[in-house]
Amino acid sequence: MSMKRKLIMFATAAVIAPLGLVVLPAATASAHGYILSPPSRQAQCAQHTVSCGSIQWEPQSVEGPKGLRSCNGGVERFADLTDDSKPWKVTSVGRTVNFTWTFTARHATYNFEYYVGNTRVAEFKLNNQQPPPTLTHPVNLGNVSGRVKLLAVWNIGDTANAFYTCVDLQVGGSSPEPAPNPDPQPNPAPPASGTWATGTSYAAGAVVTYNGTTYRALQNHTALPGWEPPSTPALWQAV
């Protein structure tokens, strides 16, 4: 091996090694939970009903100190959630609403609280138990009517933090204004050429082209971004 090659390798190792270290202390929030139904604001971001920033990747991570009354839990990078002018889909409901949570980590729980404005309309105590895998709270909204922004707070039992999630509701009587059309964004045109397209439902045996190669579908599925034929041999076989 030449000296030059050795040097290059040493230098590369020196460049790489610190990279490995830099990421280690970068603690990230770990997984948690949010209201999936009726669709909360972060659920709508995750589902691309509404176009949002980083909240779309981590709808379950709206974590802040207890006692706040804000949709983003005071987290600056989730400011989208506090923006009432965004085209949030409003769910029409009656007096009693079932709120269903999805969890990615089930923390020991002090309670769940539901607020309309500054009024607490419901509380569900868990006495520091873990919540069950999915959880639905029937909440009676009492005298509240019309368009409301409901805030749900999940207070963790063994930390000073809580999780925040807002749901836009039209309570009773008249139906809400029709939801504006979802952003026409979801599928930025793939740079690839061919007939394969996300959102298309393909039956087994269907034939597409992708970047000059022809593929046959091996099973029924709807094409999703990230499931391009060259990287999903279980779905597509080159022919």
Partner 1 sequence: MKRALLVLVFLLAGCGVGVTETTGVSMSAQPPLPGTFNDTDVMFLQMAVPQHEQGIEMTRLAEKRAARKEVRELAKAIRVTQEDEVRQMRKWLTRWDQPIAPDLDPSAHTGHGGMHGTDPAILQWLRDTPAGPDFDTRFLNLLTGHQHGAVELARLEEKGGFSKDARALAGRIVQSRTAEIQQLARYL
Interface segment toward partner 1; rule CB under 8 A; list 13-21, 84-92, 116-124, 137-145: 13-21
Give the per-residue SS3 of the chain. Answer: CCHHHHHHHHHHHHHHHHHHHHHCCCCCCCCCEEEEECCCHHHHHHCCCCCCCHHHCCHHHCEEECCCCCCCCCCHHHHHHHCCCCCCCCEEECCEEEEEEEECCCCCEEEEEEEECCEEEEEEEEEEECCCCEEEEEEECCCCCEEEEEEEEEEECCCCEEEEEEEEEEECCCCCCCCCCCCCCCCCCCCCCECCCCCCEECCCCEEEECCEEEEECCCEECCCCCCHHHCCCCEEEC
Per CB under 8 A, contacts with partner 1 among 151-190 are 186
Residues contacting partner 1: total by CB under 8 A: 65
Q: Does residue number 106 form part of the binding site for partner 1 (CB under 8 A)?
A: yes
In terms of CB distance, is 43 or 97 closer to partner 1? 43
Q: Does residue number 18 form part of the binding site for partner 1 (CB under 8 A)?
A: yes
114 and 122 in contact (C-beta within 8 Å)? yes
Q: Does residue number 235 form part of the binding site for partner 1 (CB under 8 A)?
A: yes
Out of 23, 143, 175, 191, name the contact with partner 1 by CB under 8 A: 23
In terms of CB distance, is 92 or 145 closer to partner 1? 92
Interface segment toward partner 1; rule CB under 8 A; list 51-59, 90-98, 119-127, 164-172: 51-59
Q: Does residue number 38 form part of the binding site for partner 1 (CB under 8 A)?
A: no
CB 118 to partner 1: min, Å? 30
What residue type is assigned to position 168 of the chain?
Answer: D
Interface segment toward partner 1; rule CB under 8 A; list 7-15, 74-82, 88-96, 164-172: 7-15
Q: Which residue has the tokens 């999703």?
A: 224
Interface segment toward partner 1; rule CB under 8 A; list 65-73, 110-118, 165-173, 219-227: 219-227
Residue numbers at the binding site for partner 1 (CB under 8 A): 1, 5-6, 8-31, 33, 36-37, 39, 43, 46-48, 56-60, 100, 102-106, 132-134, 186, 198, 219-222, 224-228, 231-235
